[in-house]
A and B are shown apart, each in its own frame.
Chain A
Amino acid sequence: MSALIPLWFGVIAALWTGFFILEGFDFGVGMLHDLVGRDEAGRRAVINTIGPLWDANEVWLIVAGAAMFAAFPGWYATMFSGMYLALALLLASLIVRGIAFEYRGKGDTRRWRRTWDVLLTVGSTLAPLLIGVAFADLLHGLPIDAQQNYTGSFWDLLHPYALWTGVTLVLLCALHGATFLTLRTTGELRNRSGVLARRIAPVTAALVVGFVVWTHLTAGNAFFLSLVELSAVLAVLAVLWLVHARRDGFAFAATTVTVAACILSIFVDLYPRVMVSSTNPAFSLTVDNTASGPYSLKALTVVAAIFLPLVLGYQVWTYYVFRARVSAVEFHLPAQRKPSAPAPEASPAPDASLAESREREPGGRHA
């Protein structure tokens, strides 16, 4: 067995973890944008906190899927054909959500925008739910025969543990999004994000603890929690304290660790299996019986070694470029911003907006 096989299992786990850390807060922002934003300017400000970022974050999912295809074709084939309807639904939710970002601002009517708001919320909620269910099923086990084919129905995917994991991920993404928004917005938006984070945190903590225990029992390979499972519990407890202490930066760091630890727990407990068979443990898919040939893995390793650091570099730079906080004031229509101004084309308007943007500067700088 080549050493590249466990390496690529690790790369795939890392890609999914990276996906949930980054797209996790995008999902959260999508779910909460209406609650935090409240009016059109607020909603636009909230959406624009992730505007430049969400598309590149979603690519982590595409790369994670493609890496599974390339490094473990058997895993990819069984998982994607077995979880057919769940993935079709996931695609639909990713589609409407991605389109909502781009299209909601391109229509004039209130109904147009509210329709996309609803689709954005629903899509952002369904996506982590479905991926959570899918990941939990990998570990919990699905009816798989000796030929590595899924033999169950759609309902076999919906085991209570899978549903618990799905709901946990939804709440965790919402919390992650809320702590992200406290860092990226100003004024009322920031306050409301903080309030939401404090409301969501206790439920999420309970769900995460339940998830960790259930995952540990499902994997059933030791009495004590593993290091990564333990970090999930500790991190979510830290979140609970940090959101109440209003330490926004640390709270976001803690939700990041929680998200990462939850996703990694599943992968760590799974290894060296990749899909457990509930029909017969001997039929389980493992890294060895699903992996690509050594040459493919070597080629992939070289390409990943060149491009992953490059990608990380320019993505970090992007986050640096867009570090400034976003405030609702930027999205008020000219008439709303200065009700006393007689008409938008009157000469004071540009000066007024310039003055306003200067006032915003201090809030915008320390992000």
Chain B
Amino acid sequence: MDLDLARLQFAFTSVNHFFFVPITMGLAFLTALLQTAWHRSGREEYLRLTRFFGTLLLINVAIGVVTGIVQEFEFGMNWGAYSRLVGNVFGAPLAMEGLAAFFLESTFLGLWIFGWDKLPRRVHLTAIWLVALGSALSAAFIMAANSWMQHPVGYAMVGGKPQLDNLWAVFTNPVFIWGYSKVLFVALVTGSMVMLAVSAWQLRHGGDRALFGRSATMALVVLLPSILFTMLVGDELGVVEGRYQPMKIAAAEAQWTTCQPCSFSLFQIGGGNADHTPTKIIAIPHLLSLLATNHWNGKVVGLSPLQAQYSQQFGPGNYVPNVFIQYWGMRAMAYLGVVVLLIALWGLWAVWRRTLATSRLFLWVATWAVVLPFAMNTAGWFLTESGRQPWIVQGIMLTRNGISPTVGTTWLWISLLGFVALYGTLGTVDLVLMLRYARQKPPVPRPESEVSAPVPAMQY
């Protein structure tokens, strides 16, 4: 089996999956907020917004669910040796995810979509909150599993295999606590950026100001703290990862030699695994020390001494991840985050000045800014996952030893091309539908006399 092809397939399917996951998590929460606002105030605008953004949520949930099944199957199909070795630890959170989160999310989503006229209002409101809870919980379990790959805890080696012996440790893994918090905030950033972009487009094209001014404001109010916390939590996650995966952090700065204090370069020319002395442009003193250790004069061990240390510890081999991906992945993520922060501040300033609905420039920027969170998330995952290489489980198993030993390259090609074709088509259809529904006029609620009337808006 071809290692690079298997990695390419996993990267492709998981990056695609994670386009839809944060929209689902974020929009589920925001839709629940809107419906709560309607429930408490009784104002019709909130009901219309709930329906409008609820439809956008549903378009994405479907793809998020089906691409998630692919992820679960892929561990066994492409990474058979890995599954055999670590299923004992890694499988448990996945099974719990299904039992505790997926059932909750899917069942109550069905109840929410089809229950508008069948459930009491309060129960119906609870349903959308349970959908939001279910999606947030599912991320918790999968992040616990992923964090275990970054920093394995709560196990003992029995006969060469890691065996779970402390579930509590898996769920209090510092990488998990910080990584999961980050995913939650990132989901809110993504959801609110989508809501902001749709509202901004509507405002630019003569949409109802009372309606979309309100949703844009709500999106901005959620966005600002979410992006701030994403950055703060991300910073702490960097420190935690620097402790357990020093290679990841050293590679993110292309730091080949040990430094103390360490500066952070805004850009570099050259670099990569072959060029140990790239030209660093605009170095900010002490910043890397702060980011990686939380100390003004913190020490960051360089890639070359780490490589020497790992070779001694684990035997000869190359333990340096792809430095180019690390360096630029980190910067793409961080710089895009700053742009999002600036947009949030700009938008709230416009809200303060009461010019949000009329500021054509801001509305134009806010519409196109919808691509930023997706680029940011993808860069972040490249940083995290590529930075773990060459390990599939840090210190326990190398990625090249994790693949299915008897799966042929032909099979892998067939499934890879099939998934690319399928995901390409589905992604296009999703985008077309999102654009179509985002540009529609929001539905007018049916008058009371029509409550039991045919064709509720959200049925199939």
Contact = CB atoms under 8 A, between A and B. Distances in A.
Q: Is B a genuine binding partner of A?
A: yes
Interface of B: 58-59, 61-63, 65-70, 72-73, 75-78, 80-81, 83-92, 94-100, 102-104, 106-111, 113-115, 118-119, 158, 163-165, 167, 404-407, 411, 414-415, 418-419, 422, 426, 429, 433, 436-437, 447, 449-450, 452-455, 459-460
A161 to B, nearest CB: 23
A321 B106 contact: no
B414 A80 contact: no
B110 A53 contact: yes
Contacts of A292: 87-88, 91-92, 163-164
A318 B80 contact: no
A155 to B, nearest CB: 13
Contacts, number: 257
A296 B158 CA distance: 13
A282 interface: no
A58 interface: yes
Contact of B77 (A47, A58, A81, A354): A81
A58 B405 CA distance: 30
A306 B90 CA distance: 20
B66 A350 contact: no
A52 B95 contact: no
A331 interface: yes
Determine which residue in B76, B92, B96, B437 has the highest number of CB atoms from chain A within 10 A of its CB, and name it: B76
Nearest to A85: B411
Contacts of A94: 66, 69
A357 B164 CA distance: 57
Contact of B59 (A44, A106, A299, A356): A106
Q: Taking chain B's interface residues, is the majority helix, strand, or loop, or is none over half, making it mixed?
A: helix
25 contacts: A53-B110, A62-B69, A62-B72, A65-B72, A66-B91, A66-B94, A66-B95, A69-B87, A70-B91, A74-B87, A81-B78, A84-B407, A84-B411, A95-B69, A99-B426, A102-B61, A107-B433, A292-B91, A292-B92, A293-B164, A296-B89, A296-B163, A318-B110, A330-B454, A350-B450
Contacts of A66: 72, 91, 94-95, 97-98
Contacts of A286: none
Nearest to A358: B452
A7 B117 CA distance: 42
A51 B89 contact: no
Contact of B406 (A69, A150, A154): A150
Contact of A73 (B83, B96, B415): B83
A308 interface: yes
Given A76-B91, A99-B62, A292-B91, A84 B77 contact: yes
A231 interface: no
Interface in A302-361: 303-304, 307-308, 311, 314-315, 318, 321-322, 329-332, 334, 337, 350-351, 353-354, 356-357
A105 interface: yes
A304 B102 CA distance: 14
Contact of A71 (B91, B437, B449): B91
A75 to B, nearest CB: 9
A331 B455 contact: yes
Nearest to B91: A70
Q: Taking chain A's interface residues, is the majority helix, strand, or loop, or is none over half, making it mixed?
A: helix
A318 B89 contact: no
A47 B459 CA distance: 10
Given A51-B114, A105-B459, A296-B89, A56 B406 contact: no
Contacts of B449: 350-351, 354
A78 B80 contact: yes
Interface in A36-54: 44, 47-48, 51-53
A59 interface: yes
B100 A307 contact: yes
Contacts of A203: none
Given A84-B404, A91-B73, 19 more contacts: A53-B110, A56-B103, A59-B103, A62-B98, A70-B87, A71-B91, A72-B87, A73-B83, A73-B85, A77-B83, A81-B404, A87-B73, A99-B429, A292-B88, A296-B89, A299-B164, A314-B108, A321-B118, A322-B114
Nearest to A11: B95
B94 A52 contact: no
A73 B102 contact: no
Contacts of B73: 65, 80, 87, 91
B98 A354 contact: no
Interface string A276-288: 0000000000000
Contacts of A81: 76-78, 80, 404, 406-407
Closest 6 CB pairs of A and B: A73-B87, A80-B76, A70-B91, A63-B98, A81-B80, A52-B110
Contact of A322 (B76, B100, B118, B158): B118
B418 A69 contact: no
A154 B373 CA distance: 41
B91 A350 contact: no
Contact of B91 (A73, A82, A307, A314): A73
A124 to B, nearest CB: 14
Contacts of A95: 66-67, 69-70, 422, 426
